[in-house]
Amino acid sequence: MSTFVAITISGLALGSVYFLIASGLSLIYGLMDVLNFAHGIFLTLGAYAGFDLASRMSAAADPAGFLLTAAVAAACGAVIAAMTELVLIRPLYGRPVSQILVTIGLDVALVGLLLGIYGSNARVITVPAWLTGVTSLGSERIPNGDFVALGTGAAVLAALGWFLRRTRYGIIIRAGAENRDMVRALGINVGRAFTLVFTIGGAAAGLAGLLNSVVFNGGLVDPSQGDQLLIFAFIVVVIGGLGSLAGSAVAAVLVGLVQVYVSFYAGTSAGLAQLGNVSVVLVLAIVLLARPGGLLGRTA
Amino acid sequence: MTCADTLAIEAAGLRADIGGSHILQGVDLQVPVGGVTALLGRNGVGKTTTLRALLGLQPASGTIRVLGHDVAGWPVHRIVRLGIGYVPEDRDVFTRLTVRENLRLAETGRQARYEQVYDLFPELQQRSGQLAGTLSGGQQQMLAIGRVLLHERPLLLVDEPTKGLAPLYVSEVIDALERIAATCTILLVEQNVHVVRKLARQVVVLDHGSVVHSGPVGELTEHDVRRLLGVSGPA
Amino acid sequence: MSSLLGSDQPAAERHEAGTRAALARLGRRLAGAGPAGTRRGGGRIGVIVTGCVLAILAVLPLVTLQIPWILPGPVDVLNSAGTLEVLGLCFVFAGVAAGFDLLIGFTGLLSFGQVLYFATGVYVLDAALSVWHWALLPAAALTMAVGGVLAVLLGSISLKARGIAFAMVTLAFAQAGYYLIEDNPHGLTGGDSGLVMSTSRLPAFLVGVASTRSLYWLTLAFLVAAYGITWLATESVTGQVFLAIRESERRTEVLGLRPFPFKLASFVISSLIATAGGMVYLLLVGTAAPDAVASTTVTVSILVMVVLGGLGTRWGAVIGAIVYVYLQQYLLKIAAEPSFATLPAVLRVPLSQPDFLLGAIFIAFILFAPGGIAGLARRWWPARS
């Protein structure tokens, strides 16, 4: 039984990482009708920023140092995201397909650049000792990293929820997701909201990239990790319903748990190692057949 | 606005295309300051498009002067900030926001006149926390009007506010507009001639994308109404 | 030109404009008024130019000409093995890109998963030849059948979703395919290390040193066939329905047509072309590896090719693919040269990764020339189309 609990926590932790990525994608798509393929790059760059900082800091191993690394990762993602919106997305206003394609182009170009600079071999972040440690829960030992991921996911969910409900820009974003023109007709400059959602999404993605490297990847950072995660994040967003933050949260948990349960209980024999991943796709297919708009999605 | 500007809106040669159709084919429009100017016309002649073009929501060519400024090519929010309130044809309230949030969105940073709005539309205060999507048509219309009243705006563009409303709400809206018109300029799109006769000072009639009649409402005869609008008597 | 990428008019307007035009054409066709002759049909000049280019390409392997600098192979001779292989690769992807353009450029269905069918073509043929040791023709037939069944099945499911969700579903299915390949079920795919094609049952002209020319001509034939099918599909009445669907499904329904069978048809045709392309690819390259044929990187590459060339223009996709693959291979060749390592890092790093340059070029096109190469050509030679 406690194995089940341990696996569940692991799945929730994975789901948290997915949520961090999916939340940004969902907000951006909801407000701007843009599917941001460059999100994977925000992820990867956040991880690399963390790697860079951690390799320079000797104090990276203690909680304060790690917090700083996390902050830098988030900040890096935020900055790159904001620049992407200002330089590439803005000029393409009114051409949503072009905007999507330009994010694809950016992803391709920057992954290529990273490969050129860092090579395809993974770099290693020194993972703080306390993160690799375990906490005992009953007879199971749960990696501390799981708790960190879980905690971060929950914190970001709460923060985003507060932001969207209580702040003016949060209301603008929610209104804009419904009817951008009317928001403009109220005298509000929606462009600022665009940059804001990109920045928020980028920050969350940068954080996710760092967490993923440190908690799930054994401290490895490589240029293509962003794209791998991005596909799962997309699946989460579609299952949850495009444009719905709550949907992303629910779907992220669902996908994380499915992946972990299937991998653990079925994926030990040869030829089934990827079953966990495949079953996520199956969930997607089932959800879409039953509810084409996703679990909590808006219609169209 | 200079002293010489007695026109709240002055548009000339307004042309707009939607998908290959020439909706507006050279609209010349003058809206004097103060009172209600009504924009009449059958369905599809371009009344809503004209309003949207004035606001920059619809790309259009021609000269557009609003509240003393040349606004052609301006972004929408900049035009609106000159002091324009827009009540669109389908109300366009944000259904997933509450009534309170809808109103809050319309605040511009200066002191908002919630008291006056609630005084005019007490139901909005009662239903403050209700999701706008669950309001009835009439209540949504009140919200749509209420939010442009939060601040004093010299110009209101109002698009068919009585369309599809129960008679009780129709008279409430007409009363509200009457009170508002005392202190600002309203360009009112309407198909209901009865409403127009009650509220408007000036009338502009559109047909096939251009202006075919313009003058004081008193001069609009029943014959004109039948000829230009194809309706007889109050709608 | 492509309404998907847009021009100066806002989306809604062009939507309406395109709808009217497409539906008008469709209306004429349905009324039996004969082919309306779209702009893309190309004038007589287009046919002549195409014929000349094809003729040149066909005799290329027979021309031993030394051309410095621009050839992509290690030897600077026009009909060297290296050049022919690269050109063959160009043609394969050009054909696949043309089929992809049918789906996204003409029918307006943004699919991120066509690589799945390409991979099917590669891996099923490979497994049949190398694991079961079938002869070529039966193996090819099996491959096409599998591709077709898969396309109908997965297409039907995917098309339940609209717009972006559809794109994501196709992406997910393709990714699932990638995972399955990596898993190496029953030893059929070779997993991560790939599966080398066994040539034991291939006809002689496709094996060995002399095969370079035969393979080149095979790829060229594939390109011509793929382009021909795409051309037929788009010029027919069905093609007009594709266009109408791209502009507005709702209005297509108003005309009394159900969009779904047409969307599925477009999907299946495009997928079958990709499957066939996969087969030719395998014969050309001789080995199957998941990262080269099944990853989403490949999908993205094909998408870039089509957009670069110009969505919805058929020949644009072909040009885009040839330019893309050629440039990619050429850059790889340069990066392998000994003198390359002496370049300063600021030049060396970007150039060593073709993706970076290609991505940057792609971005530049989207920002400044959304019609792609075809769009640019149209601007410079308006009389041509």
CATH number at residue C22: 1.10.3470
Residues of C within 8 A of A117 (CB-CB) are: 349
Decide if A277 and C175 are in contact by the 8 Å CB cutoff: yes
- Taking the Cβ of residue C46 and every Cβ of chain A, the question of whether any pair is shorter than 8 Å is answered with no
Tell me the angle at which helices C259-285 and C211-235 cross, rounded to the nearest 10 degrees.
170
User: Chain C residue with minimal CA distance to B16?
Assistant: C13
C325: in domain: yes
Decide if A285 and C169 are in contact by the 8 Å CB cutoff: yes
User: Chain A residue with minimal CA distance to B93?
Assistant: A182
- Taking the Cβ of residue A188 and every Cβ of chain B, the question of whether any pair is shorter than 8 Å is answered with yes
Q: Which range is most confident: A121-130, C55-64, C131-140?
A: C131-140
Chain B contact partners (≥3 CB pairs within 8 A): A, C
Residues A117-136, mean pLDDT to the nearest whole number: 74
User: Chain B residue with minimal CA distance to A182?
Assistant: B92
Amino acid at site B162: T
- Taking the Cβ of residue A189 and every Cβ of chain B, the question of whether any pair is shorter than 8 Å is answered with yes
Instruction: Point out the least confidently predicted range of A73-87, A159-173, B183-197, C272-286.
Output: B183-197
Residues of A within 8 A of B147 (CB-CB) are: 186
d(CA C167, CA C109): 8
Decide if C296 and A92 are in contact by the 8 Å CB cutoff: no
User: Chain C residue with minimal CA distance to B17?
Assistant: C13
Range of the domain at C209: 11-384
3-state secondary structure of B158: strand
Average confidence score pLDDT of chain A: 85
pLDDT above 90 for A58: no
Q: What percent of chain A has pLDDT over 90?
A: 39
- Taking the Cβ of residue C153 and every Cβ of chain A, the question of whether any pair is shorter than 8 Å is answered with no
Buried b (16+ CB within 10 A) or exposed e, A55-68: eebeebeeeebbeb
Q: How close A231 comes to chain C (CA, Å)?
A: 7
**Domains (range + CATH), chain B:** 1-83+154-161+185-228 (3.40.50.300)
User: Chain A residue with minimal CA distance to C191?
Assistant: A271
Decide if C367 and A92 are in contact by the 8 Å CB cutoff: yes
User: Chain C residue with minimal CA distance to A278?
Assistant: C176
User: Looking at the 3D structure of chain C, how many domains does it have?
Assistant: 1
Residues C325-335, mean pLDDT to the nearest whole number: 86
Decide if A172 and B81 are in contact by the 8 Å CB cutoff: no
- Taking the Cβ of residue B44 and every Cβ of chain C, the question of whether any pair is shorter than 8 Å is answered with no
pLDDT above 60 for C36: no
d(CA C231, CA C372): 19
CA A230 distance to own-chain centroid: 7
**pLDDT band for position A79 (50/70/90)?**
very high
Decide if C359 and A300 are in contact by the 8 Å CB cutoff: no
3-state secondary structure of A291: coil
Question: CB burial class (10 A; 0-12, 13-18, 19+) of residue C201?
Answer: middle
Is the distance from CB of C276 to CB of C226 less than 8 angstroms?
yes
Q: How close C9 comes to chain B (CA, Å)?
A: 9
Chain C contact partners (≥3 CB pairs within 8 A): A, B
Decide if B80 and A187 are in contact by the 8 Å CB cutoff: yes
pLDDT above 70 for C9: no
Amino acid at site C344: P
Decide if B20 and C10 are in contact by the 8 Å CB cutoff: no
Residues of A within 8 A of B106 (CB-CB) are: 186
Chain A contact partners (≥3 CB pairs within 8 A): B, C
d(CA C187, CA C200): 19
Q: How close A217 comes to chain C (CA, Å)?
A: 18
C29: in domain: yes
**pLDDT band for position A89 (50/70/90)?**
very high
State residue C41's pLDDT score: 45
Beta carbons within 10 angstroms of residue C71's beta carbon: 21
Q: Indicate the pTM of the whole model.
A: 0.84
- Taking the Cβ of residue B18 and every Cβ of chain C, the question of whether any pair is shorter than 8 Å is answered with yes
Q: What percent of chain C has pLDDT over 70?
A: 87
Residues B71-78, mean pLDDT to the nearest whole number: 90
Domain boundaries, chain A: 2-223
Does ipTM surpass 0.90 in this model?
A: no
Residues of C within 8 A of B18 (CB-CB) are: 12-13, 16
Q: What percent of chain B has pLDDT over 90?
A: 31
Decide if A234 and C172 are in contact by the 8 Å CB cutoff: yes
C306: in domain: yes
User: Chain C residue with minimal CA distance to B57?
Assistant: C10
C4: in domain: no
C1: in domain: no
Instruction: Point out the least confidently predicted range of A197-201, A209-213, C273-277.
Output: A209-213
State residue C27's pLDDT score: 52
Residues B171-187, mean pLDDT to the nearest whole number: 88
Of B105, B39, B51, which is closest to residue B79 (Cα–Cα)?
B51
Decide if C172 and A235 are in contact by the 8 Å CB cutoff: yes
State residue C106's pLDDT score: 81
Q: Which helix (H) or strand (E) holds B25?
A: strand B21-32
Is the distance from CB of A209 to CB of A47 less than 8 angstroms?
yes
Residues C84-90, mean pLDDT to the nearest whole number: 89
Residues of A within 8 A of C162 (CB-CB) are: 292, 300
Please identify among residues 177-216 of chain C the ones whose CB lies closer than 8 Å to any CB of chain A.
Answer: 179-180, 182-186
Please identify among residues 5-24 of chain C the ones whose CB lies closer than 8 Å to any CB of chain B.
Answer: 9-10, 12-17, 19-21
d(CA A79, CA A81): 5
Of the two residues C27 and B61, the one the predictor is more confident about is B61
Decide if A235 and C168 are in contact by the 8 Å CB cutoff: yes
Disruptive mutation site among A28, A95, A286 for chain C (greatest number of C CBs within 10 Å)? A95
Q: Which of A104, A117, A288 sits opposite C165 (nearest CB)?
A: A288
Question: CB burial class (10 A; 0-12, 13-18, 19+) of residue B78?
Answer: middle
d(CA B141, CA C93): 57
Residues of A within 8 A of B97 (CB-CB) are: 171, 174-175, 178
**In the B/C pair of chains, how many CB contacts fall below 8 A?**
20
Tokens of B165: 């409303």
Disruptive mutation site among B76, B101, B157 for chain A (greatest number of A CBs within 10 Å)? B76
**pLDDT band for position A299 (50/70/90)?**
very low
Decide if B55 and A186 are in contact by the 8 Å CB cutoff: no
Residues of C within 8 A of A293 (CB-CB) are: 165
Tell me the angle at which helices A245-266 and A225-240 cross, rounded to the nearest 10 degrees.
120
**pLDDT band for position C234 (50/70/90)?**
confident
pLDDT above 50 for C235: yes
- Taking the Cβ of residue A266 and every Cβ of chain C, the question of whether any pair is shorter than 8 Å is answered with no
Residues of C within 8 A of B15 (CB-CB) are: none
Residues B82-102, mean pLDDT to the nearest whole number: 92
Residues of C within 8 A of A255 (CB-CB) are: none
DSSP assignments along A79-141, one per residue: HHHHHHIIIIIGGGTT-HHHHHHHHHHHHHHHHHHHHHHH-SSPEE----HHHH-EEEETTEE
Q: Which helix (H) or strand (E) holds A74?
A: helix A63-84
Residues C8-20, mean pLDDT to the nearest whole number: 44
Residues of B within 8 A of A183 (CB-CB) are: 105
3-state secondary structure of B41: coil
C3: in domain: no
User: Chain A residue with minimal CA distance to B79?
Assistant: A187
Task: Tell me the pLDDT tens digit for each residue of A220-277.
Answer: 888 878 888 888 898 899 888 877 889 999 999 999 999 888 888 776 665 566 777 8
Question: CB burial class (10 A; 0-12, 13-18, 19+) of residue B50?
Answer: buried
State residue B54's pLDDT score: 92
C57: in domain: yes
State residue C144's pLDDT score: 94
Residues B148-177, mean pLDDT to the nearest whole number: 87
Tokens of C175: 């990714």
- As a three-state string, the secondary structure of chain C is CCCCCCCCCCHHHHHHHHHHHHHHHHHHHHCCCCCCCCHHHCCHHHHHHHHHHHHHHHHHHHCCCECCCCCCCCCCECCCHHHHHHHHHHHHHHHHHHHHHHHHHHCCCCCCCCHHHHHHHHHHHHHHHHHCCCCHHHHHHHHHHHHHHHHHHHHHHHCCCCHHHHHHHHHHHHHHHHHHHHHCHHHCCCHHHCEECCCCCCCHHHCCCCHHHHHHHHHHHHHHHHHHHHHHHHHCHHHHHHHHHHHCHHHHHHCCCCHHHHHHHHHHHHHHHHHHHHHHHHHHHCEECHHHHCCHHHHHHHHHHHHHHCCCCCHHHHHHHHHHHHHHHHHHHHHHCHHHHHCCHHHHHHHHCHHHHHHHHHHHHHHHCCCHHHHHHHHHCHHHC
Decide if A300 and C163 are in contact by the 8 Å CB cutoff: yes
Please identify among residues 56-75 of chain B the ones whose CB lies closer than 8 Å to any CB of chain C.
Answer: 59
d(CA B151, CA C48): 68
C301: in domain: yes
pLDDT above 50 for C347: yes
Disruptive mutation site among C7, C13, C250 for chain B (greatest number of B CBs within 10 Å)? C13
